[in-house]
Amino acid sequence: MTRLVLDPTSELAPAQRARLPRLASLEGRRIGLLDISKPRGDVFLNRLEARLRERGADVARYRKPTFTKPAPSDLRQEIAVQCDAVVEALAD
């Protein structure tokens, strides 16, 4: 006899979105650097900013309120509108 059970999951399928094409050059592009608010993340990102500027990129800095929670949607939207690419940086 076939037994029926009820699906315990959310029954949601994640939307699949294609990645944006890779930037051909950093020259004149605006790169967002997102600090996740872990200790010494700034050390890494400061260095990254210097290297990006050397290669002609414009850099904008952002920061999550806390590393333990996903970035607020307003912050994600802000980065998406203002930047051509983003680097989300870990730390410790």
Partner 1 sequence: MAESTRIPVLPSGLVAVVKRECPTCVTVAPVLRDLAASAKLTVYTQDELGFPEGLAPEDDTGLSVSYHHRIETVPTLIRVENGVETERTVGWHRGDWEKLTGISGLGAGLPEWRPGCGSKSVDPEIAAELAVRFEGHKLASRRVAIAELEDEAEALFARGWTDGLPVVAPTERRVLAMLAGTTRAPDEVVAIVPPDLAPATVEKIAINAVMAGCLPEYLPVVLAAVEAVCTDAFNIHGVLATTMPVGPVLVVNGPICRRIGMNSGKNVFGQGNRANATIGRALQLVVRNVGGGRPGEVDRATHGNPGKLGFCFAEDEEGSPWTPLASDFGAAPGADAVTAFTGEGPRCIVDQLSRDPESLARTYAVNLRTLHHPKLVLAFDCLLAIGPEHSRIFRETGWSKADLLARLTELLQIPGSELVRGAGGIAEGLPESVAGATLPKFRPGGLLLVHCGGGAGLFSAMIGGWASGAVGSAPVMREIRP
Strand ranges (E), 12-71: 30-35, 58-63
Q: Which stretch binds partner 1 (CB under 8 A): 3-11, 20-28, 50-58, 83-91?
A: 3-11
Which one of the spans 6-14, 25-33, 41-49, 52-60 is the region binding partner 1 (CB under 8 A)? 6-14
Chosen residue from 15, 21, 22, 66 binding partner 1 by CB under 8 A: 66
- 74 binds partner 1, rule: CB under 8 A: no
Q: Does 16 bind partner 1 (CB under 8 A)?
A: no
* Contact between residue 59 and residue 86 where contact means Cβ atoms under 8 Å apart: no
Structure token digits, residue 1: 């006899």
Coil vs helix vs strand at 62: strand
Written as six digits, the tokens of 11 are 């029954």
**Residue 25 binding partner 1, by CB under 8 A:** no
What count of other Cβ atoms lies within 10 Å of the Cβ of residue 42? Answer: 17
Residues that bind partner 1 (CB under 8 A): 1-12, 14, 66, 68-70
